[in-house]
Amino acid sequence: MSASKTGRLEARDASVVFRSGFGGRIAKTALRDATLGIGGEKPSIVAVVGESGSGKTTLTHLLLGFRSPTSGTVTYRGVDIAKMTGGERRVFRREVQAVFQDPFEVFNPFYRVDHALFTPLSVFGIARDRNDARAKIETALETVGLRPGETLGKYPHQLSGGQRQRIMIARALLLDPHIILADEPVSMVDASLRSTILQTLLRLKEEAGISLVYVTHDLTTAYQVADTIVVLFAGVIVESGGAEEVINAPRHPYTRALIDAIPSPDPDVPWNLDAIEPGEGGNGIPGTGCPFAPRCPFATMDCARAEPALAEIAPGRHVRCIRPLGGA
Ligand SMILES: Nc1ncnc2c1ncn2[C@@H]1O[C@H](COP(=O)(O)OP(=O)(O)OP(=O)(O)O)[C@@H](O)[C@H]1O
Ligand SMILES: [Mg+2]
């Protein structure tokens, strides 16, 4: 394992407000006061789970520097990514890589997939020559379980979704990243390949010392691969902690509802976080305070008064609820 992968990426009290309408009068807070760190001395996998629209991709884009926080900061190696020098930015661009949901969109359909693999090597000047580049590419493809001879020379449409997704992971690996942000990397892939790709991500942590943010709306796969689970609801972190504790002893009613909604113990059956409808189980409590109150079976009028802060209830264990559930 590489002992030198020490890059740490941190969002601190980061919010993203989208403005639309005439003069930007309509404001939508996609993410609010998000604090989250990944990487550093010990590699780990942080799963960010939440239903559609909860702010997962917004958080990923923030961590990648694709979007600036409206307030708060994102730092890499302690430097605000909005204020990096050219050299610092280059290190950041190399050490923090992304893998997205739909691998087809990333490929240029007119180029063989080789192009997507050679380009980052030449942009970052990593390979000594073409032979060295080819050797590095072959190693990266093998790491993700692809046979170079069957992969190189192909056009994107000649490969399956699972193969394209693994090429994207190989592409990220070529840059020897410290951190990979994977936004729904397996949601477009069928069940049989899903676990293969997740195993690959797990191996990257264990064998290459790479830390990952794994974004998903599937709590089952989050539990399978993650050390830490962060639960997002309506743009705020409502709960976080060790994967075991969050799943086995959820403290936020939303997390508990998610776990109760898992239809099948079969990890290959994807499970729909959007199953819990607004109003379902709620006590008619308005969402003027806690945003989950209208859907919360435990809500009382106290919940309507003010939004709870994210409180540390045990070391590394956070919950945003005025009356956290009892735990185990
Ligand atoms: N460019 C934008 N302009 C305005 N609103 C946006 C923009 N991008 C996202 N949003 C809104 O911000 C919220 C969070 O969106 P985001 O894409 O982060 O959710 P998500 O958790 O990734 O959802 P999904 O599971 O569907 O991918 C949503 O309400 C979305 O409509
Ligand atoms: Mg998304």
Tokens found for residue 253: 């009613």
Q: Which ligand is closest in space to the CA of residue 59?
A: 1
> Does ligand 1 come within 6 angstroms of the Cβ of 57?
yes
Q: Which protein residues have their CB within 5 A of the ion that is ligand 2?
A: 56-57
Q: How many independent structural domains does the chain possess?
A: 1
Q: Which residue has the higher pLDDT, 239 or 264?
A: 239
> Does ligand 1 come within 6 angstroms of the Cβ of 48?
no
> Residue 60 sits in a domain of what CATH number?
3.40.50.300
- Mean pLDDT across 20-41: 92
Q: Cα(50) to centroid of ligand 2, in Å?
A: 9
**Closest residue to atom 25 of ligand 1, CA basis:** 52
Do residues 98 and 181 lie in contact, with contact meaning Cβ atoms separated by under 8 Å?
A: yes
Does residue 324 sit within a domain? no
Does residue 96 sit within a domain? yes
Q: Note the pLDDT tens digit of each residue in 68-115.
A: 999 999 999 999 999 999 999 999 999 999 998 876 667 788 899 999
List, as one string, the DSSP characters of 184-252.
Answer: STTTTS-HHHHHHHHHHHHHHHHHH--EEEEEES-HHHHHHH-SEEEEEETTEEEEEEEHHHHHHS--S
Q: Which ligand is closest in space to the CA of residue 67?
A: 1
| Residue 61 to residue 54: CA distance in whole angstroms | 14
> Does ligand 1 come within 6 angstroms of the Cβ of 77?
no
Does residue 1 sit within a domain? no
Q: Note the pLDDT tens digit of each residue in 57-70.
A: 999 999 999 999 99
- Mean pLDDT across 165-178: 93
Does residue 327 sit within a domain? no
Predicted local distance difference test score (pLDDT) of residue 104: 67
Predicted local distance difference test score (pLDDT) of residue 190: 80
Q: Whole domain around residue 146: which residue ranges? A: 8-319
> Does ligand 1 come within 6 angstroms of the Cβ of 52?
yes
| Residue 140 to residue 143: CA distance in whole angstroms | 5
- Mean pLDDT across 117-144: 93
Do residues 232 and 238 lie in contact, with contact meaning Cβ atoms separated by under 8 Å?
A: yes
Tell me the pLDDT of the chain averaged across its residues. Answer: 89
Predicted local distance difference test score (pLDDT) of residue 32: 95
> Does ligand 1 come within 6 angstroms of the Cβ of 251?
no
Label the pairing between strands 317-319 and 311-314. Answer: antiparallel
Q: Note the pLDDT tens digit of each residue in 254-277.
A: 999 888 877 655 555 444 445 455
